[in-house]
Amino acid sequence: MISLHWPWMFVLMVLPWLVRRWAPPAPEQATAALRVPHFRDMVQFQSGRSVDNLQRGSSTWLWISIVIWLLLVAAAARPQWIGEPVGLPTSGRDLMLAVDISGSMAIPDFSINGQEVTRLEVVKRAAAEFIARRTGDRVGLIVFGSQAYVQTPLTFDRITVSTMLQETEIGLAGKETAIGDAIGLGVKRLREQPAGSRVLVLLTDGANTAGEVSPKQAGDLAKEQGLRIYTIGVGADRMEVDSLFGSRTVNPSRDLDEDTLRHLAQSTGGLYLRAKNTEALAKVYAQLDRLEPASTDTELFRPTTELFIWPLGLALGFSVLMASSLLFGNRGLAGMKWPAKGVKTERVVGT
């Protein structure tokens, strides 16, 4: 709806009338004099309808002047467009997701609707649903392989975070796994945030095989900064593979370092969770929702758009039109045409 921020400004609508009605007329300056040589030569160039045109023009400019004044008063009242109420969170968590995109995440030991898919595809699907439920939280994304990178900084824009996760590809950060560097980068991004709201969710399917910082060193640093770490070990424990001697059963998660992940979680006040299939991974994220519930307190905000520029722009347009017509019109000053070329004029102000 449209609202007026200062409606009392419309009282000024009658100000020109009050000035004309009650203000004393300007005193005549008897000492001022204006002499225009060859005045008769100038008069002969005006048409016989100049007086009538001048009167009609004066009436037109009077009404345009009134419209300009009303537009200026309307602009001064600050009309605004008030939008629909929007709920804003009053509190929430700063939650950083660290997702492993090393080469082992390409192992197809998960399934969706009976079709084999890679670990990363399942993680993308489950994490997107988790991110969508984090109303009121600022969510960020770190991806790591041989190196760790911030894919998305902390933001309330959960759609962007989910989109960036969907566009992530295996091997983008290298083929190895730098768990310690990913935790260290998460600590760096979260240490400036309010204490008690810093949460890092680390998902991996292997052990630390690269990076400058060991997982233990990174875990100690996270503990000092009051950062809770929830670790998720992903990968099936049984998988049928074809070989020269037929089908055989292997453990695709034999490289998963569960002891390190469990220690990282316990030392920082978090929890280690294991996801061996698609349904288990969905339950892991649901359990995280219970452990770290999203903010529910909201306050209403109504977006406001200023509209004063429209009446102000119209007033400016009418003013330019009036000035242009008076300065460059055919009738010129006082409804007279200008003298022909060669007629000299002179203005003298005397006392």
Tens-digit pLDDT profile for residues 32-86: 555 655 555 555 544 444 445 545 556 777 888 889 999 999 999 999 988 887 6
Q: Is the predicted pLDDT of residue 108 greater than 50, yes or no?
A: yes
Letter for the amino acid at 314?
A: L
228-237 burial code (b ≥16 CB/10 A, e <16):
bbbbbbbbbe
- The mean predicted confidence, pLDDT, of the chain is 81
Q: Which alpha helices (H) appear in 140-212, and where do they start and end?
A: 158-166, 179-190
Q: 306 - beta bridge partners?
A: 80
183, two tokens: 């935790």
Cβ-based neighbours of 137, under 8 Å, separated by 6 or more = 89, 92, 93, 94, 95, 156, 294, 295
Q: For residue 189, which of 159, 230, 150, 238 has the smallest C-alpha distance?
A: 150
The model's pLDDT over 206-237, given as tens digits with 9 standing for 90+, comes to 899 999 999 999 999 999 999 999 999 998 88
Q: Write down the H helix ranges in the chain.
A: 15-22, 39-43, 50-76, 119-132, 158-166, 179-190, 215-224, 258-267, 278-291, 309-328
What are the chain's domains? 2-82+304-350 (no CATH), 88-299 (3.40.50.410)
Taking the model in full, what pTM does it have? 0.60
Res 348: pLDDT? 44
Take residue 147 and report the two structure tokens written for it.
Answer: 């190196």
**pLDDT in the model for residue 347:** 43
How many alpha carbons fall within 13 Å on the CB side of residue 321? 12
Distance CA(336)–CA(46), nearest Å, equals 5
Containing 109, the helix (H) or strand (E) segment is none
- DSSP SS3 for 99: strand
The pLDDT assigned to 346 comes to: 45
Please tell me the predicted confidence (pLDDT) of residue 49: 45
pLDDT digits (tens, 9 = 90+) for 315-332: 999 888 888 877 775 444
3-class state of residue 287 by DSSP: helix
Mean pLDDT of 149-163: 93
Sign of the dihedral through C-alpha 330, 332, 337, 342: negative
DSSP readout, 319-334?
Answer: HHHHHHHHHHSSS-GG
Predicted pLDDT at 71: 92
What is the structure's pLDDT at 255? 87
Selection from 257, 196, 186 nearest residue 222 by Cα: 186
